[in-house]
Amino acid sequence: MSTDTFRFELDDGIDGGAQLQQVVPRLGAAISQVEIADLGLPTPCAEWTTRDLLNHIIGGANMFADAFGGAPVSDISGRLPDIIGDDPSGAFELAAGRFGAATQQPGAMERVIELPFGPMTGRTFLRFVAFDLTVHTWDVASVTGAEVDFPDELLVEITAFAHHVLDAVPRNDLLCADPVPESSGASLLDQLVAYSGRQP
């Protein structure tokens, strides 16, 4: 494996699948608190309603599942077709189940996932997904006012990986906006979302 081609690979022993086992339930819990009346509300993602955000998260999970079968990952920064209807939690559980099953296929961790900003092995891609879904958990919770509590150790790992990837590529709508200044004494989660272009 060429380090020039696979520039995002890390050999630090951190397991993206184990990270997702902590992130996905928290995201599911945040989504479970979204009411139908919340779906038209604005979110920290510019110009996206809560419905837009959830379709992005859940549609992305389905696309990521397909990627482990060899499908390319497209730019999903725009609005995706509505797949949540009036049951965001149900749609999320189905998509999360599909994605989880896809990652358990033989050879999934060695499969090359073609992303718009460069290829990753499945093993590294899980860490990117953990980062992405951690930030989106905060996005969803910010709409409902729900509390979000991630272990500090997890946030340190995810933030280090985010810098490893995002410091190396131009910012664009697929990834996130430019970082915003952190407030003094910001929590680890607030530091991560600020780095991801959100205002904590």
Tell me the average pLDDT across 42-65.
92
3-state secondary structure 142-154: HHHCCCCCCCHHH
Can you read off the two tokens belonging to residue 143? 């709409």
Better pLDDT: 178 or 29: 29
What structural domains and CATH numbers belong to the chain? 16-149 (1.20.120.450)
Beta-ladder partners of 115: 118
Whole-structure pTM value = 0.92
pLDDT in tens, 155-198: 999 999 999 988 877 766 445 677 888 888 899 999 999 999 88
- 117-140: per-residue pLDDT in tens? 788 999 999 999 999 999 999 999
Q: Where do the H-state alpha helices sit in 15-75?
A: 16-32, 50-67
pLDDT of res. 2: 42
Compare 143 and 76 and report the one with higher pLDDT.
Answer: 143
Task: Give the separation between CA 188 and CA 200, rounded to whole angstroms.
Answer: 11
Which range is least confidently modeled, 12-16, 54-58, 115-119, 187-191? Answer: 115-119
Helix or strand holding residue 120 (H, E): strand 118-121
